[in-house]
Amino acid sequence: MKLTLQRQILTEKSTIGLLYIDDIFQCYTLEDVVRKPGIKIPGVTAIPYGTYEVIIDYSKRFVRNMPHVLKVPMFEGIRIHQGNTVSDTEGCILLGTLKNTDRIYNSKLAFIRFYKRLEEGLKAGKVMLEILDSSDMDSLSVCECVRTKSLLH
C-alpha cells in the first residue's frame, strides 16, 4: 500500500494536506508548520518531505495501538492520529474529512476509516508514506479529487 500526503496549504500556523491511499483521495491532513530543511522547532514543526515506512504499534501516550511513522530525521514518535488544530499535534499528522484555514473537522471518522485501511494494507505487506509538496503531485488526476465526495459521505 502506498500513502501519499500532498501538502497543499501552508500558513504561519499550520499545514493542510491531502492524503491519498494508492492514488485515491482518503482525507485531509493537518500538520505543524513546514520549515526549511534542517530546521526544527520542537513541537511546532512538520516532519520533512520524504518517504517513510508506516506501521501500527503500541503508543504509551495513546495507550493503544496507533499508526507510527518510522525513521523520520530529527523526530521521534511520529503518529497519525485524531485532532483538529495544531494544538493537537507535536509533529504528528492529524486526519479529517473537512478542512478550513488552520483546522480540520470530523477527525474521529477520518481516523477510523484510515486505520481500517491501514490494517488491511499492512496485512498485504509494507506500507510507505510519501510526503510531497503541491508541485510534486502531477501524477494524481483531477478526477480522483472529484470522487472525494462519494468517499467521505
- pLDDT per residue over 60-72, tens digit each? 999 999 999 999 9
Residue 139 pLDDT more than 50?
A: no
Residue 148: the pLDDT is 40
Q: Domain ranges in the chain?
A: 2-152
Residue 133: the pLDDT is 85
| Range from 8-12, 23-27, 132-136 carrying the lowest mean pLDDT | 132-136
Tell me the pTM. Answer: 0.88
| Continuous segment of H or E residues that includes residue 4 | strand 2-10
Mean pLDDT computed over 7-29: 97
Output the average pLDDT for the chain: 90
Residue 99 pLDDT more than 70?
A: yes
Condensed to tens digits (0 to 9), the pLDDT of residues 84-94 reads 999 999 999 99
Q: Percent of the chain having pLDDT more than 90?
A: 84
Calculate the alpha carbon distances from 17 to 62, 93, 126, 134 in Å: 23, 10, 23, 9
Give the list of residues 6+ apart from residue 63 with CB closer than 8 angstroms, or none.
Answer: none
Establish how many alpha carbons lie within 13 A of residue 26's alpha carbon, considering only the half-sphere containing its beta carbon. 26
Can you list the positions of beta strands (E) in 13-145?
15-21, 24-31, 50-59, 64-69, 78-81, 93-96, 98-100, 103-105, 128-133
* Max Cα-Cα span within the chain: 40
Measuring CA to CA, which residue among 153, 146, 98, 129 is closest to residue 20?
129
Contact predicate 132/20, CB 8 Å: no
